[in-house]
A and B are shown apart, each in its own frame.
Chain A
Amino acid sequence: MGAASTREIYGKTLVELGRQNRDIVVLDADLSTSTMTSLFAREFPERFVDCGLQEQNMVAIAAGLAASGKIVFASTFAVFAICRCFDQLRLCISQPNLNVKIVATHGGISVGEDGISHQAIEDLALSCALPSFMVIVPADAIETAQAVRAAADTYGPFYIRLSRSKTPIVYPEGCDFKLGKAATMRQGRDATIMATGIMVDKALEAADILAKQDIDCRVINIHTLKPLDEAAIVKAASETGAIVVAEEHLTQGGLGSRVAQIVTAQKPVPTEFVNLDDKYAMSGKADELLERYGLTARHIADSVKSAIKRK
């Protein structure tokens, strides 16, 4: 199926958006050649602001621009955008509900060799905690393009988490991205895997493994963590009776916590979680890290079997 870079498609989509809308302004913090906002900078230098190594300043500048009617995209690595700038995100953007799109690359441990300082694994908990923020983790480059367009077209603050490494394409024939609506990737009756970001591909692989063992597994891509598609989650719980949530994030506060909150309140069923538990990772190649920390199709498949056993 091939793989493509979500950050590269982000950069290209920004350029297209910039051609269509003169109100789009892009900010970066000295990482534009990594986040790929450099493509926008090259075509629209007057609408690009490099804030240097000043992430907190960048977030508040973004808010000021948005308060003046601009649609602002601000990019850096996910750890710096979300973890470092939480107070600025909170008071300058979330509380006043300003039109700023934080699109951060290098989410999760698949950042790889740079190690824990660069691996954002708390960002989804933090961003989902911000009222008025919408939070998206696209599954591949195809979905990234649509998510970025949706963010530009929808008023309000967004956090979009992208990856460093190329991400396997899960939508080779295109996708129909709907903000806040989970996408069913594969039907199934015995259990549902709910995955986000790079874990969607692994969830599909897990469903293939399970199919060979006569386990018919549904796969849902929850690209929008906030607002969450509660109806799809409750429906899957009702129809399949077991859930596994897979995400490249710590156990607290991410998709797992959010799904568990819905399931326990509305349709309690056995639920298992595939995530990074409660610890930091280390340097290494992306695939080695994902294997070491249990973020593989095999781990998901094992969790599905555990969940089904508890039915």
Chain B
Amino acid sequence: MPNKASLDNPSPFNQFSLSTPELREMAKKLRRHVITMIAQAGSGHPGGSLSAADIITALYFRVLRHDPKDPQWPERDRFILSKGHAAPILYATLAETGYLPVAELETLRKMDSRLQGHTDRGLTPGVEMSAGSLGMGLSFAIGIALAARLDSRTYRTYALLSDGECQEGQTWEAALAATQFKLDNLTAMVDCNGIQLSGRTCDIMSLEPLIQKWQAFGWHVIEIDGHDFDQILGAFLESEKTKGRPTVITARTIKGKGVSFMENNVAFHGKAPTPEEAERALKELG
């Protein structure tokens, strides 16, 4: 049966089914984890975790059918984090949903930790893909979506890409293929925070007009504010109802969202906050 997430009627298949105000609080909590983890690790990518926080919160706490006690449940909806450098927000989510002990978050990027700098499929419960080299996740998600069709399973596959990642040729190979294969059980999300490591995407290698590109590749495109839960949930609902072709949600987001001095700041793409900065950030995130 399809996932029945809706604005008024939280999914009976998502055991958390948080209300929108609860989602807002949870996202804040996850952002605090991200800051603490990366500050403790002394390296990492805070900006892209913070921009994706609301989308991932909505998925895990409202939309996805998943069971933290059974990470390999064959019918689970799959979440593929293609932008592997946002691993901290995924780890924080997996901890708060019960896949990992919350205390384990402080091991991020340390020797022998299950929480590698970029995601490792074999190591971390709940992580579906080893990622970190950009542009591969949508292809991987296509494989999973094809398997669902072969096995007549009803799970959906969700792949989160960065906008910078749309500069990779393989992303567009996958964009062609998902349409060719009519994968309406696949939803891609592009975290359009507008910033990559060395500057603004529009200055480095412009993706615009991004929406028209996805449309031209045959996708159903939904443009949203990636920090507005009503829009996020509405887009997921629309993607489930879209038949015959895949859906991409282009989510306008703010890099570093939630921490004033990280917002739209290129410096915090791949730099850990100092202890003082972390303290300020945590204060802002209440």
Further pairs besides A64-B140, A64-B147, A96-B122: 10, Cβ < 8 Å: A52-B176, A54-B177, A57-B142, A64-B129, A67-B143, A69-B147, A88-B136, A91-B130, A91-B133, A97-B122
* A68 & B120 in contact (Cβ 8 Å cutoff): no
- Chain A contacts for B129, CB-based, 8 A: 64, 67, 92, 96
Q: B146 interface residue, CB < 8 Å from A?
A: yes
- Chain B contacts for A52, CB-based, 8 A: 176-177, 180
> A residues near B, CB below 8 A?
25, 46-47, 49, 51-52, 54, 56-70, 87-88, 91-92, 95-97
- The binding surface of chain B is classed by DSSP as helix
Q: What are 22 residue pairs bridging A and B, where the CB atoms are less than 8 Å apart in the complex?
A: A25-B147, A25-B150, A47-B150, A54-B173, A56-B170, A56-B173, A60-B170, A61-B142, A62-B143, A64-B129, A64-B141, A64-B142, A64-B147, A65-B144, A67-B121, A67-B140, A70-B147, A87-B136, A88-B139, A95-B121, A96-B130, A97-B122
Q: How far is the CB of B132 from chain A (nearest CB, A)?
A: 7
Q: B281 interface residue, CB < 8 Å from A?
A: no
- Binary interface encoding of chain B residues 114-139 relative to chain A, with 1 for a CB under 8 A from any of its CBs, else 0: 00000011100000111111001001
- Chain A contacts for B211, CB-based, 8 A: none
- Binary interface encoding of chain B residues 238-257 relative to chain A, with 1 for a CB under 8 A from any of its CBs, else 0: 00000000000000000000
* A91 & B139 in contact (Cβ 8 Å cutoff): no
Complex Cα gap A222–B180 (Å)? 42
With A49-B146, A63-B143, A65-B146 known as contacts, the answer to whether A57 contacts B130 (CB < 8 A) is no
- Chain B contacts for A67, CB-based, 8 A: 121, 128-129, 140, 143-144
Complex Cα gap A58–B180 (Å)? 13
Chain B interface bracket (under 10, 10 to 19, 20 to 34, 35 or more): 20 to 34
Identify the closest chain A residue to B169 (Cβ). A56
* B140 & A61 in contact (Cβ 8 Å cutoff): yes
- The binding surface of chain A is classed by DSSP as helix
> B residues near A, CB below 8 A?
74, 120-122, 128-133, 136, 139-148, 150-151, 169-170, 173-174, 176-177, 180-181
Complex Cα gap A65–B144 (Å)? 5
Top 3 A-B pairs ranked by shortest CB distance? A64-B143, A68-B147, A60-B139
With A67-B128, A95-B120, A97-B122 known as contacts, the answer to whether A60 contacts B147 (CB < 8 A) is no
- Chain A contacts for B74, CB-based, 8 A: 69
* B177 & A57 in contact (Cβ 8 Å cutoff): yes
Q: How far is the CB of B217 from chain A (nearest CB, A)?
A: 13
* B177 & A96 in contact (Cβ 8 Å cutoff): no
Given A54, A64, A69, A95, which contacts B146 in the complex, CB threshold below 8 Å?
A64
Given B121, B147, B170, which contacts A65 in the complex, CB threshold below 8 Å?
B147
Q: How far is the CB of B131 from chain A (nearest CB, A)?
A: 7
Identify the closest chain A residue to B121 (Cβ). A96
Q: Which of B130, B131, B142, B174 has the most CB of A within 10 A?
A: B130
Given B122, B136, B147, B169, which contacts A92 in the complex, CB threshold below 8 Å?
B136
Complex Cα gap A66–B121 (Å)? 13
Complex Cα gap A59–B133 (Å)? 14
Complex Cα gap A155–B189 (Å)? 33
* B140 & A63 in contact (Cβ 8 Å cutoff): yes
* B143 & A66 in contact (Cβ 8 Å cutoff): yes
- Chain B contacts for A57, CB-based, 8 A: 139, 142, 170, 173-174, 177
